[in-house]
């Protein structure tokens, strides 16, 4: 039994939780304080994909991309607290201190679960693939395979192996169906990633080499990194580094990786839009508050 259970009834705790949640929403929505968070969302691509999902929620690639952008956002946001401390140390400490106390009362704190994105991607692709009226779609197979391998992080024991084997089966089927050399090269790169998760290094290296031979530059670069780590001396590492290959294909179609210049532009637009709205909302709240007095 927690401290609150000893002094408050269930109804009082629920009411306090609601107040805490509302207070956190107000604090996090204040202009300037939220600017770095808005910038992080923009840089990670979350804001861009949110708009795409609104336009077409039945597109499984949008849900897969949102998951990938969310993971990027989480990695980037680890450094956000430091940035806030440098820019506004007083505001930073105040917000962190208040929010820290409120989090213990708010049962819906950080309620968003990225697994929901994977669930949507899996559900939508499975629905398409089960439609007997349609031919097997290699696009759906790739998205499904990737979503399953991401889902492995949330699985336990034998379920992990089963999911990885299914992912390998789906991506292999997509490779067999694909006629485009560029896409096939990308698919073999994913197959290598899946084999890496099963710790089958021999099949991983084979898939990477096929991807490289088909012209996929990321496979060529990754192979060099792996071989350099295995090299025993600097001369061997230098020789590996200087290996050239005809790899004209550089772009991932099924992995969310926006160009840096696009990210910067989208980040500024997202921050500007969010901050303008928050200044407007804050002004209205202050006006409403003054009218009460």
Q: What is the pLDDT of residue 52?
A: 85
CB count, 10 Å around CB of 22?
12
Cβ-Cβ contacts under 8 Å for 83 (sequence gap 6 or more): 36
Q: What is the pLDDT of residue 148?
A: 97
Q: Are 218 and 189 in contact (CB under 8 A)?
A: yes
Smallest CA-to-CA distance from 167 within 205, 122, 135 is with 122
Q: What is the pLDDT of residue 278?
A: 46
The per-residue pLDDT for range 50-101, each reduced to its tens digit, is 888 888 899 999 999 989 988 877 776 665 443 433 333 233 333 444 344 3
CA dist 49 and 59 (Å) reads 11
Which CA distances in Å does 83 have to 35, 39, 91, 219, 245? 11, 11, 12, 35, 41
Q: Are 32 and 58 in contact (CB under 8 A)?
A: no
3-state secondary structure 215-229: CEHHHHHHHHHHHHH
CB count, 10 Å around CB of 178?
19
Chain centre to alpha carbon of residue 282: 30
Question: What's the CA angle centered on 270, arms 37 and 111, to 5 degrees?
Answer: 45
Q: What is the pLDDT of residue 247?
A: 94
Q: What is the pLDDT of residue 233?
A: 86
Report the b/e string of 71-98 with b at 16+ CB within 10 A.
Answer: bbbeeebeeeeebbeeebeeebeebeee
Smallest CA-to-CA distance from 188 within 217, 160, 156, 229 is with 217
Which CA distances in Å does 205 have to 154, 230, 277? 26, 13, 50
Q: What is the pLDDT of residue 167?
A: 97
The pair of three-digit structure tokens given for residue 57, joined into one six-digit string: 């929620």
Residues of the chain with pLDDT under 70: 1-45, 76-112, 258-293
The per-residue pLDDT for range 16-25, each reduced to its tens digit, is 566 555 545 5
Length of the chain: 293
């Amino acid at each position: 039994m927690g401290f609150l259970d000893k002094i408050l009834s269930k109804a009082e705790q629920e009411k306090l939780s609601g107040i805490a949640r509302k207070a956190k929403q107000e604090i996090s929505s204040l202009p300037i304080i939220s600017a770095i968070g808005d910038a992080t969302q923009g840089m990670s691509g979350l804001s861009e994909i949110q708009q795409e999902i609104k336009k077409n929620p039945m597109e499984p690639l949008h849900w897969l991309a949102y998951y990938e952008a969310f993971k990027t956002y989480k990695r980037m946001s680890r450094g956000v607290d430091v940035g806030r401390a440098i820019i506004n140390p007083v505001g930073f400490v105040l917000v962190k201190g208040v929010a820290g106390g409120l989090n213990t009362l708010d049962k819906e704190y950080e309620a968003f679960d990225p697994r929901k994105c994977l669930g949507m991607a899996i559900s939508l692709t499975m629905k398409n693939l089960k439609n007997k009226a349609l031919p097997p779609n290699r696009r759906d197979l790739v998205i499904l395979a990737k979503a399953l391998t991401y889902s492995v992080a949330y699985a336990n024991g034998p379920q992990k192996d089963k999911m990885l084997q299914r992912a390998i089966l789906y991506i292999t089927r997509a490779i067999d169906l694909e006629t485009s050399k560029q896409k096939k090269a990308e698919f073999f790169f994913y197959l290598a990633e899946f084999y890496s998760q099963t710790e089958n290094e021999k099949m991983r290296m084979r898939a990477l080499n096929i991807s490289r031979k088909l012209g996929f530059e990321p496979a060529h670069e990754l192979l060099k990194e792996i071989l350099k780590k295995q090299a025993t001396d600097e001369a061997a590492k230098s020789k590996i580094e200087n290996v050239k290959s005809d790899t004209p294909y550089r772009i991932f179609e099924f992995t969310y990786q926006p160009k840096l210049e696009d990210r910067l532009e989208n980040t500024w637009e997202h921050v500007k839009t969010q901050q303008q709205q928050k200044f407007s909302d804050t002004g209205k709240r202050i006006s409403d508050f003054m009218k009460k007095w």
